[in-house]
Chain A
Amino acid sequence: NAGVTQTPKFQVLKTGQSMTLQCAQDMNHNSMYWYRQDPGMGLRLIYYSASEGTTDKGEVPNGYNVSRLNKREFSLRLESAAPSQTSVYFCASSEEGASDTQYFGPGTRLTVL
């Protein structure tokens, strides 16, 4: 049982390049999330998808776009990467309620030069 998977694990980009981070979950969860983690900080929500077909902005959405491809997959796109987007990106999934645990993928470490 893989849980939440993310690709790639590591990526180095130059300023202005674009890329898509992929996330998939096999737990049949309705809700999926993208967070970023910066040094010395907890995670901050970028975007989330409460259910298939819907997406909404989180705390720090600027510079990102998302696609909920189907129930399993939720991708994060950086259209024109900036050094401020250097971070570790985590995808997570859960059922919909406030009591439902969010389960995280292994993370993608992104460096923008």
Chain B
Amino acid sequence: AQKITQTQPGMFVQEKEAVTLDCTYDTSDQSYGLFWYKQPSSGEMIFLIYQGSYDEQNATEGRYSLNFQKARKSANLVISASQLGDSAMYFCAMRERYDYKLSFGAGTTVTVRA
């Protein structure tokens, strides 16, 4: 079964606007971590933000914030004040407590328009 679902294959956003990327996950574990990575066209995987399942506050890192709704098993990434350099593929990933691997979603392509 798919553990991470990203339903938006591609999105367009105007420069300086905010964009929300959806991510839902499936796990029966109580302890897990949720991660977002950015993959620009150059191909590298860049870590953006982390949310632990027991964290009560939503994670924030600069212009990135994670809207964590545990009961809905949702971990949406919000990018505020979009910049042209934000154009990339974005992956949501989960690591369960006793598993070493990250389970990745299929990704969402974001294109920022000037």
Q: Which residues of A contact B (CB under 8 A)?
A: 31, 33, 35, 40-45, 48, 50, 56, 58-59, 88, 90, 92, 98-99, 101-107, 109
- Judge whether B12 is part of the interface by a CB distance below 8 angstroms: no
* Contact across chains for A98 and B101 when beta carbons are under 8 A apart: no
> Given the known A-B contacts A42-B106, A48-B100, A98-B95, are A107 and B44 also in contact in the complex, defined by CB atoms under 8 Å?
yes
Write the nearest CB–CB distance from B93 to chain A, whole angstroms: 7
The answer to whether A42 touches B32, judged by C-beta atoms less than 8 angstroms apart, is no
> What is the CB-to-nearest-CB distance from B36 to chain A, in angstroms, rounded to a whole number?
11
Indicate if the CB atoms of B91 and A42 lie closer than 8 Å.
Answer: yes
Per the bound structure, the CA–CA distance linking A44 and B52 in Å amounts to 21
**Contact partner, B43, options A40, A48, A88, Cβ 8 Å:** A88
Count of chain B residues with a beta carbon within 8 Å of a chain A beta carbon = 28
Contact B50–A98 (Cβ < 8 Å): no
Residues of B within 8 A of A33 (CB): 100-101
* A-B pairs with beta carbons under 8 Å apart, 28 shown: A33-B101, A41-B104, A42-B4, A42-B91, A42-B103, A42-B105, A42-B106, A43-B91, A43-B102, A44-B104, A45-B100, A45-B101, A45-B102, A56-B100, A98-B32, A98-B33, A98-B95, A98-B97, A98-B99, A101-B35, A101-B50, A102-B35, A102-B102, A104-B44, A104-B47, A106-B44, A107-B43, A109-B43
Specify which of B37, B96, B100, B106 is in contact with A50 (CB 8 Å cutoff).
B100
Q: Does the CB pair A106–B43 fall under 8 Å?
A: yes
Are the C-beta atoms of B44 and A40 separated by less than 8 Å? no
Q: Which residues of B contact A (CB under 8 A)?
A: 4, 31-33, 35, 37, 43-47, 50, 52, 91, 93, 95-107
Provide the residues of chain A in CB contact with B104, threshold 8 Å: 41-44
Query: What is the chain B residue whose CB lies nearest that of A103?
Result: B47
Nearest A-chain residue to B52, judged by Cβ: A99
Closest to B98 in A: A98
Q: Apart from A98-B99, A107-B44, list 4 A-B contacts with CB within 8 A.
A: A92-B45, A101-B47, A106-B43, A106-B44
